[in-house]
Amino acid sequence: MSTERKALAARRADLIERCAAQREYLCAEATALRSPFSLNGVGGLLGGNGKLKLALAGIALGLAVIRPKRMLALAGTGLSLWQTVRKVLPLLARP
């Protein structure tokens, strides 16, 4: 092989290696971006945080006792938003 062909072959091998590394990096980043949208991501966010769950439950109970009419309106809005999010998330999760 001539020196030019050897240099081109070495460059090609280097580029193939760099492309593989970039693909792995992109895959890891895409997975990290998708995980908050999955139910496991939300469960992971609240799963190990008992104090946060207790605080959120306390706030919700306090609002329900103090302002029940507003709480019902907020619950209806939240349910509607949840249904919309559940329909849209599969579209966002497509590769």
Q: Is residue 91 part of a domain?
A: yes
**Residues 53 and 22 placed together within one structural domain of the fold:** no
The predicted pLDDT at position 16 comes to 95
Tens digits of per-residue pLDDT, 3-36?
A: 999 999 999 999 999 999 999 998 888 777 766 5
**Residues 63 and 91 placed together within one structural domain of the fold:** yes
Q: Is residue 59 part of a domain?
A: yes
C-beta of residue 2 within 8 angstroms of C-beta of residue 54:
no
Q: Is residue 22 part of a domain?
A: yes
**Residues 82 and 53 placed together within one structural domain of the fold:** yes
Tens digits of per-residue pLDDT, 31-51?
A: 777 665 555 555 555 555 667
Q: Is residue 43 part of a domain?
A: no
Number of domains in the chain: 2
Owning domain of residue 60: 49-95
Q: Is residue 54 part of a domain?
A: yes
pTM for the predicted model, two decimal places: 0.38
28: buried, middle or exposed (CB in 10 Å: 19+, 13-18, 0-12)? Answer: exposed
